[in-house]
Amino acid sequence: MDTQRKLEILADSSQYDLACACGTKDQDRRKRSSEGTWLYPVSLPGGGKSILLKTLLSSVCVNDCKYCPFRSNRDVRRCTLKAEEIARIFMDYVRRKGIFGLFLSSGVIRNPDFTMDRMGAVARILRKQYQYRGYIHLKIIPGASDAAIEEIISLASAVSLNVETPRRSAMKQLSDQKDYDRDIVRSVKKISELTAPGSAYSRVSQTTQFIVGAADERDSEIVRATFGLYRRWRLNRVYFSAYQRGLGDSSLPGERHPVGDPGNLLTREHRLYQADWLMRKYGFADDEIPFEADGNLSLQVDPKEAWARRHPEVFPMDVNRAGKFELLRVPGLGTVSVGRIMKMRTGGGKVRSIRQLGRYGKRLEKAAGYLKFGY
């Protein structure tokens, strides 16, 4: 198999790992290049957008993760790129397409530390031979040693280790090999220590991903774990990936007990992103996120509106008196419209109509029902 064919296969296989930039709008979605590779959007630190080349180093894997289409007991086409091949291809993309950086993951070849050394070899070639100083996102393999983790962090701009589930009993449903405390919790803690403010690697960001619906976890557990990852371990971003039925082992709860329409899992993923946004951007705590009796987020109503419906005592809210974070709890208002309100109120100004906040449509129509314009 030549290098180009291997790259096509491995780049396509990398789609199952979402712990990098990817959004819901057309301009934020991944796009396949003319060479068959996947290019992913990313928000630049100084504003604007660019793209990442995303690929696996190898689809060979010794792990038994039951949700993964590349688990060890599955008969699938497997291949591995050499470090020199990835570095050369990537630099060619940088020169020809002006891409922003590289996202490199891998199946587990032999063992975690051997795999980490192979991924590190790619970064070392780029940093030393090609003098590349741009963005490199590298995966941390669960179970890797502290020394291997530090070596990868020293070469990367960003790292991610997928926690996959919010508790150890759910991890046991996903893998007979992985130990949740040893392979996941310990590693996340080590990454956080190495990248803490004031440390030698404080510039390196950390992200992670949950697999949603493969095990029997509830949204409430994922939300609590997400809040803890932000507050306790200072992660920069948490991603959620709806389990894709039919790819996993038949023993998984997600295969045995499907939750109605397959589209429900995608809606569940979307609701978790909305809850994540409330915590990251709108000042909500995890115990303020509203759940249904079964511990999951509503599939019919977004979590912000569900919170508002449960707190009628807060509304209607006075648009000319409420603070920024109070206004961010109003369904239909976002950071842009709230920023516009705060600017209009500067120097004693008043907001007299919902139509002053922008183009009047369903979003502002919804907000109008929760506001009053006292002045």
CATH at residue 251: 3.30.750
Segments of the chain with pLDDT less than 50: 21-30, 38, 44-45, 260
Q: What is the pLDDT of residue 358?
A: 86
Give the list of residues 6+ apart from residue 8 with CB closer than 8 angstroms, or none.
Answer: 35, 36, 37
Tally of helices (H runs) and strands (E runs) in the chain: 13, 10
Are residues 1 and 28 both part of a single domain? yes
pLDDT digits (tens, 9 = 90+) for 82-101: 999 999 989 998 888 778 88
Number of domains in the chain: 3
Element (H, E) at 90: helix 83-97
Question: Does 171 fall in a domain?
Answer: no
The pTM of the full predicted model, rounded to 2 decimals, is: 0.88
Write down which residue in 160, 188, 211 finishes a domain: 160
> Does residue 179 lie within any of the structural domains?
no
User: Which residue segment(s) compose the domain that 48 sits in?
Assistant: 1-160
Q: Quick one: 1 and 143 in the same domain?
A: yes
Residue 175 covered by a domain: no
Is 287 found in the same domain as 326? no
User: So what's the pLDDT on residue 262?
Assistant: 55
Measured over the CA atoms of residue 327, residue 332, residue 333 and residue 334, the dihedral's sign is positive
Q: Are residues 103 and 79 in the same domain?
A: yes
In a domain, 180, yes or no: no
User: Tell me, what CATH number does 340's domain have?
Assistant: 1.10.150
Are 322 and 207 part of one and the same domain?
A: no
Judge if the upstream peptide bond of residue 316 is cis by omega within 30 degrees of 0: yes
In a shared domain, residues 47 and 153: yes
Q: Is residue 169 part of a domain?
A: no
Instruction: Please check whether residues 244 and 255 belong to one and the same domain.
Output: yes
DSSP tag of 286: G
Does residue 115 sit within a domain? yes
Q: Which residues contact 110 (CB under 8 A, 6 or more apart)?
A: 62
pLDDT at 28: 42
Query: Domain for residue 182, yes or no?
Result: no
Residue 173 within a domain: no
